[in-house]
A and B are shown apart, each in its own frame.
Chain A
Amino acid sequence: MAAREILLKANHVRKVFRRGSEEIAAIDDISFTCRRGEFVSFVGPSGSGKTTLINILGCLDNPSRGTVSVGGMTVFNDTTRLSEGELTRIRRCYFGYIFQKFYLVPTLTVMENVLLPLSFYRKEGAAADALPLLNFLGLGQRIHHRPAELSGGEMQRVAIARALINKPEIVLADEPTGNLDTQRSREIGQILRHLNRQEGVTVLLVTHNPLLAAVAQRTIILRDGRIVT
């Protein structure tokens, strides 16, 4: 069977932050490849560079050095820096983001929150998928509710639906269960696994939770800004 195409690639990526005269490397010389349909989790202690790495992979941040390509297109290298508008276009096409905090708009209903990204950009048929998506996430009966009327797990599921509404090829989930209890965390893990296995969505997951990390096909451990395994 032929190997699946490479969707994300990072080569010798380094990211340095300055604190006064001191330079701190959040990630250093990281090379990473992710093929279409993979489920990769990143684990490691706080400050190991997990979030910095997926921010760079997700075109939310640029590296200080190294090359990053998405879908075969070079997004960052030592001479190329895309503009904010160009990065937004790439993010629109490829990525859906799930964060620890849900960032739902309190005055919008569940359905309106999910439809929000379509106000700025929409792939064909995206709006029609909203209800089936919410039904799949167990929120079919909650579409007219506002975020304040939902539990933490429900709010995170709304955030997941919002991340998926534009049919992204890659879902980046940064500590998606950080604010949830064990049961809700397990549910989110099952949803991510379903998306990956049944829908073929590529998932990159950052977590401290070993049970959640175990859902992934591949786990990458980071320490002090470097990949350990």
Chain B
Amino acid sequence: MTKPLSIYRIAFKNLQRKKARSTLTLIGIGLSAWVLTSLFGFNQGYETALNKDIDNMGFQVLLTAKGCPYEAATLMLKGGTGLRYMPESVISDVVRYPGIEKVTPMLMQAVFDPNKGESGGISAYLGVDPASYPQLKAFLSFEQGSWFTDPLGYQAVMGYEAAELEQREIGDKILIPEKNIEFTVVGVLKRSGTQDDGTIFIPIRTLQKEFGQQGKVTALGIKVSKTANIIELENKLYDLPDVQVVSMAQVRETIMSLVSTAKVMVISIALIAILIAILGVINTILMSVFERFQEIGILKSMGAMPADVFRMVWTETVILCLLGGMLGVGLAFGLAKITDFLIRRLLPYAPTGSLVQVNLPLALLILVIVLGIGLISGLYPAWWAARVRPLESIRSEGD
């Protein structure tokens, strides 16, 4: 009851004087911290998600027909395998190279489905080889059923989301529009968090036959042995005529270079947000110090040393920034899904999985940064307040 007030309590009470001003400043800092957290979380999350997508492809190198590498990379990660066709015979050329462990051909075909969505949409089918593809994708597991075994059968395996969207279970039929061919669903994959979730897999031979693409593939997935020099192999593969070699390392680089533009933009926004927050904090605290000019003089006449006043004002800034930082980190945690959605709309390509990873170490890092902002912003107002001479305030009311 009669315990002297701590400097922190005094500082906190001082901030309560102008509640609206303190609250607005706090919101400003909070928004800046939110942007910062989301940006850093995006930085971590995007690469993790991209790496996961790439790892889950099951192959390290993709061979497509010659074309735009960006297009190839994007299509590949979105579940496609290129728009152009290569002769299937390229497999026999590829397997001759040392260091190649497995090769699997793929054929992507798409048709317009008038019953998809409200005004129709594109349905894509990936033709895969039942002998080699499941081996490369050994990590995929089934919700129902299993892979098709007949290379010429009219069977399909559906990714989790594709099955959910079409409301299909094993034993159900799916119809390829335009072609009027029915396939029996023999397997539904478990959710993998990759592009496989939305894919419908068909035996490649059947797909080639029905779409009149016999002897053609859109891509070859190549698994390289662990001991092989992947860069050397890529260079050798370029000796093959009319092929585009897309390595996962290249894909990663390509995508990251595309994303870097967006990142620069977001970093710029974050820096501006930080600058605005700093100026906002300086303004708020300085205004508060100016308003308390006489009171600070009285505090000094009561025995407060310049260092005490400096500490009091600095503490006010730090409290404001820490509360704002906590608000921002809380927003980042709470609104991660919305942020994810907004960022996805900005990017040319977004991998599956969570794009914005907000975790405890990141939250702590942001709090440290915001604390740093507080310490820097508070320097000038605290220095100004510490220099107030008691006489200056008292003389203003003297005779």
Q: Assess whether B394 is interfacial by the CB under 8 Å rule.
A: yes
Cβ–Cβ contact A47 & B2, under 8 A = no
Closest Cβ of chain B to A221, distance in Å, is 14
- Other-chain residue from A48, A116, A127 in contact with B10 (beta carbon distance below 8 A): A116
Chain A contacts of B298 at CB under 8 A?
A: 97, 99, 103
Within the assembled complex, what's the spacing in Å between the Cα atoms of A166 and B389?
21
Cβ–Cβ contact A60 & B294, under 8 A = no
Cβ–Cβ contact A105 & B295, under 8 A = yes
Q: Assess whether A52 is interfacial by the CB under 8 Å rule.
A: yes
Most buried by B among A99, A122, A127: A99
Q: Assess whether B209 is interfacial by the CB under 8 Å rule.
A: no
Number of A-B residue pairs at CB separation under 8 A: 102
Closest Cβ of chain B to A209, distance in Å, is 13
Interface residues of A in 110-125 (CB under 8 A from B): 111-112, 115-122
Q: Assess whether B229 is interfacial by the CB under 8 Å rule.
A: no
Within the assembled complex, what's the spacing in Å between the Cα atoms of A119 and B9?
10
Q: Assess whether B399 is interfacial by the CB under 8 Å rule.
A: yes
Cβ–Cβ contact A115 & B2, under 8 A = yes
Within the assembled complex, what's the spacing in Å between the Cα atoms of A128 and B4?
10
Given contacts A84-B306, A91-B303, contact A127 B4 (CB under 8 A): yes
Cβ–Cβ contact A47 & B399, under 8 A = yes
Cβ–Cβ contact A117 & B397, under 8 A = no
Which A positions have Cβ atoms within 8 angstroms of B? Answer: 46-48, 50-52, 55, 60-61, 84-85, 88, 91-92, 95, 97, 99-101, 103, 105-108, 111-112, 115-122, 127-128, 130-131, 162, 166, 174
Which B positions have Cβ atoms within 8 angstroms of A? Answer: 1-7, 10, 13-14, 16-17, 294-295, 298-306, 308, 389-391, 394-395, 397-399
Given contacts A127-B4, A130-B2, 5 further A-B pairs with CB under 8 A are A115-B5, A120-B302, A120-B303, A127-B2, A166-B302
29 A-B pairs within 8 Å (CB atoms) are namely A51-B394, A51-B395, A52-B398, A55-B391, A55-B394, A60-B390, A60-B391, A84-B389, A88-B304, A88-B306, A92-B303, A99-B298, A100-B397, A105-B13, A105-B14, A108-B5, A108-B10, A111-B1, A112-B13, A116-B5, A116-B10, A116-B299, A117-B303, A120-B299, A120-B308, A127-B3, A127-B4, A128-B2, A130-B2
